[in-house]
Structure 1
């Protein structure tokens, strides 16, 4: 595994309140698209209604941060939210309802652990090769699924096809591993004149370049073996970094060295993500101008602590 992985496709930040989270990200200087939510009838022939989760994207040229909030039974949604009607034949409706319901239950259970990052999806140009490799390595997954996701462009929202799979761990519900949800996604091949995501951010952000996972010290060896099966071996000289998937693993005892003042809400857990920026000095000025607390990492980068960013630390890195 590893040769068919090309970085992060996206990370998922699960939140209690979508409006509040969007306002937080905008204060950090990100452009956040209005959230979307699926509309489905609960029974064949019934009226469509909000069901599942609402999603909002912080889009970059090749990947994104996803904000996710569960739609409650009362159907409360942010004022900006836009419906995405899902059309499905009557005979397939029960299966789709069950699949959306299972995903929603997983999201809700993640949120019970803590508000923050729970989803890490790696990018691949050939998900069928990934699926075959995982199967050969004895990694449980539910196969490849095809869906569409909204992409914000300068002229509006378009739906783009994507194929994905989720890894499952023994003893946990389908699509879950101890730290949350891990998987792979393959976008549709780029086409001439195709979709160009709207990616201008006031803080100068240009891409999602890292996801940081914190693990108990004694659990590190087993996790490194598991991740090597998913993403290929960590490279020499960076023993806790899975370069192909842009995942960095840090032990609980070393987290304070990397992110001073941070404590994991649970173990194992994704505790931070890193975005590249055009001009780190301008980014720092933008954050301070919005009265956002800024700290310095052990790598001499800057970050916003989790308590000021809806439960996950956001690291800013000068792009190369």
Structure 2
């Protein structure tokens, strides 16, 4: 029997179907790495998304001094079972450029533990900096797993290197039944001597345990653009890499790819990873050119009413293009390095 997960948010009922036999359910989130998060939040609001104020770690460097932001700042545009993340590297000289409503999460820990926390946050910052050295855009692709321990075991058996299942805890949003949200995740390690832990060529790819419906339901899920879910991510590769990358993701996801024209699709539960070459990208998203290869070049969200979404984008002064299948998108050179595609919900 196929299990059905039902959650109620406000006056809306959300139904999630999990197909038995797969430890990968859907797309959990993508991470859009930006140079200036205040600019990015302004863009996303014009795109019609609602985002809470960003959060950033802070530390008191000298006794009696005010807390200073450092490391990484991020915020989310949330949906019932997925989200879009905006993240940036916060250098000391950039901290004053954060939005004034940024939530500073003060690091408080025993003296012997604090240096380790700072080191770990520094490693995250270094990864964000390396992403921005490649290009500003999407560098994170995480898949949602209803059975993340089984996914880790499957990857290990298939010879895929990863950092194991890690757990972090963060404050749950107001209104949730629990005060602390537990996040369990794993990151896939790239191959080769120069690969950084937790990253592959196209960025940070991995798995996260399914979002808790109660916790996610306490977040702001209604968006002026009518966005309902993250339903597709596009990965662009060279012709020479196509077969190797396709096989790599078949191993990651435990699923075979489906070919449709020049593109390959990894079908998940209500979502898909789309794999295209440079020429295929030009067909799928007219006018788009990848900054480097391989690259996560854009993502697609499902919306209630595509005509209303298009009107909102145009009213907000954004350039809107159309795909051959009738979807609309804001091109990457307008949307800070990531093509943002809108599709009518099924």
- Under a length normalisation based on structure 2, what TM-score does the superposition of the two structures give? 0.85
Query: Partners of 1:23 and 1:151 in 2: how far apart?
Result: 25
User: 1:153 Cα shift?
Assistant: 5.8
User: 1:188 Cα shift?
Assistant: 6.1
Matches within 5 A, 1:1-320: 3-40=22-59, 49-74=68-93, 75-76=95-96, 77-149=98-170, 160-171=181-192, 172-187=195-210, 189-190=212-213, 195-236=217-258, 238=260, 240-244=264-268, 246-320=272-346
Query: Partners of 2:65 and 2:101 in 1: how far apart?
Result: 25
Query: Partners of 1:44 and 1:249 in 2: how far apart?
Result: 52
Query: Partners of 1:205 and 1:190 in 2: how far apart?
Result: 18
User: 1:89 Cα shift?
Assistant: 3.5
1:194-237 superposed Cα distances (whole Å, 9 cap, x missing partner): 85221111111111111110001110000011111101233445
SS at match of 2:150: helix
1:235-291 superposed Cα distances (whole Å, 9 cap, x missing partner): 445571111272111111111100000000110000010000000111111111112
User: 1:45 Cα shift?
Assistant: 12
- Under a length normalisation based on structure 1, what TM-score does the superposition of the two structures give? 0.91
CA contact (8 A) 1:44 1:90 kept: no
Query: Partners of 1:256 and 1:40 in 2: how far apart?
Result: 46
SS at match of 2:340: strand
Query: Partners of 1:265 and 1:42 in 2: how far apart?
Result: 38
User: 1 or 2 for the larger relative contact order (CA 8 Å, sep ≥6)?
Assistant: 1
Give unmatched runs, 5+ long, in structure 1: none
Query: Partners of 2:63 and 2:144 in 1: how far apart?
Result: 36
Query: Partners of 2:226 and 2:283 in 1: how far apart?
Result: 26
Query: Partners of 2:207 and 2:337 in 1: how far apart?
Result: 24
Residues 194 and 111 of structure 1: CA distance in aligned 2, closer, same or farther (over 3 Å) = closer
CA contact (8 A) 2:107 2:114 kept: no
CA contact (8 A) 1:160 1:188 kept: no
Query: Partners of 2:321 and 2:190 in 1: how far apart?
Result: 35
CA contact (8 A) 2:80 2:213 kept: no
Query: Partners of 2:291 and 2:172 in 1: how far apart?
Result: 31
Query: Partners of 1:39 and 1:258 in 2: how far apart?
Result: 42
User: 1:98 Cα shift?
Assistant: 2.2
The number of residue pairs the alignment matches comes to 317
Residues 194 and 30 of structure 1: CA distance in aligned 2, closer, same or farther (over 3 Å) = closer
Give unmatched runs, 5+ long, in structure 2: 1-20
Query: Partners of 1:121 and 1:151 in 2: how far apart?
Result: 20
Residues 13 and 5 of structure 1: CA distance in aligned 2, closer, same or farther (over 3 Å) = same
